[in-house]
């Protein structure tokens, strides 16, 4: 297995990000051993089977919604549960948090990025995709402040560019990549 400069990858997305998330999952090799956490804005009062949809669409990866206090395991893909912030504990387990929405969202990308940065520090990679608000910008700042790595989808390629633009404005040191560059960057990231 290749040696990566990170121990976890978080991908945050909102409006316009679903097709790219599916593409990223399809392009990751089946033996990708780094835990991957997806934080996607969803309607809170509507039944969701996004985990099943993502598993079915990619065909080679099982996507699961973690339970509170569940350990984060290598080679797994996790989806933040609907209507909960997904946080990390120092023992590398998940916390489901029902505190107030952030940027009208629960799960909020900022909450997850900030929490995981506090646990994984320089061993974290955060990826921010399309979205129509500024969720993720503060979280990326926390990731970078802890020495983590940050990728933002090039705003010109996003269906909704508000989230990537806000993140880049606040975090000019984040890498800005075209969608086709994201998976190769994850797989070949050099510290």
- The answer as to whether 146 is a domain residue is yes
Domain around 156: 8-187
- The answer as to whether 45 is a domain residue is yes
Q: Burial code of 115-147, b = ≥16 C-beta within 10 A, e = fewer?
A: bbbbbbeebbbbbbbbbbbbbbbbbbbbbbebe
Average pLDDT over residues 81-92: 97
Task: State yes or no: pLDDT of 1 exceeds 60.
Answer: no
- The answer as to whether 2 is a domain residue is no
pLDDT of residue 170: 98
Task: State yes or no: pLDDT of 82 exceeds 70.
Answer: yes
Q: Within 10 A of 78 (CB to CB), how many other CB atoms are there?
A: 22
pLDDT of residue 22: 95
Return the SS3 of 27: helix
Average pLDDT over residues 19-23: 96
Task: Name the residues annotated as catalytic.
Answer: 14, 41, 135
Beta bridge partners of 37: 10, 78
Q: What Rg do the C-alpha atoms of the chain give, in angstroms?
A: 15
- The answer as to whether 1 is a domain residue is no
In three state form, how does the secondary structure of 128-149 look? Answer: ECCCCCCCCHHHHHHHHHCCCE
- The answer as to whether 3 is a domain residue is no
Lowest mean pLDDT among 49-53, 159-163, 164-168: 49-53
Total count of domains within the chain: 1
Instruction: Please state the pTM of the whole predicted model.
Output: 0.95
CA-to-CA separations, 92 to 145, 166, 177, in angstroms, rounded: 20, 29, 29
Q: What CATH code is carried by the domain that includes residue 78?
A: 3.40.50.180
Task: State yes or no: pLDDT of 2 exceeds 80.
Answer: no
Average pLDDT over residues 54-63: 84
For 97-153, write each residue's pLDDT tens digit.
999 999 999 999 999 999 999 999 999 999 999 999 999 999 999 999 999 999 999
- The answer as to whether 113 is a domain residue is yes
As a whole number, the mean pLDDT across the chain is 94
């Amino acid at each position: 297995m290749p040696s990566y400069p990170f121990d976890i990858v978080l991908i945050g997305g909102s409006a316009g990000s679903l097709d790219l998330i599916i593409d990223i999952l399809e392009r990751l090799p089946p033996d990708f051993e780094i835990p991957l956490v997806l934080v996607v804005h969803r309607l809170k009062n509507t039944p969701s089977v996004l985990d099943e949809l993502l598993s079915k669409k990619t065909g080679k990866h099982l996507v699961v919604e973690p339970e509170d206090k569940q350990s984060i395991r290598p080679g797994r893909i996790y989806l933040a549960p609907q209507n909960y912030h997904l946080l990390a504990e120092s023992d590398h387990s998940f916390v489901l948090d029902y505190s107030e929405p952030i940027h009208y969202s629960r799960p909020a990308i900022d909450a997850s990025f900030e929490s995981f940065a506090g646990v994984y520090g320089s061993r974290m990679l955060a990826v921010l995709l399309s979205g129509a608000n500024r969720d993720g910008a503060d979280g990326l700042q926390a990731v970078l402040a802890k020495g983590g790595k940050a990728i933002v989808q090039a705003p010109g390629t996003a269906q909704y560019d508000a989230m990537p633009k806000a993140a880049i404005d606040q975090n000019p040191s984040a890498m800005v990549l075209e969608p086709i560059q994201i998976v190769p960057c994850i797989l070949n990231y050099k510290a």
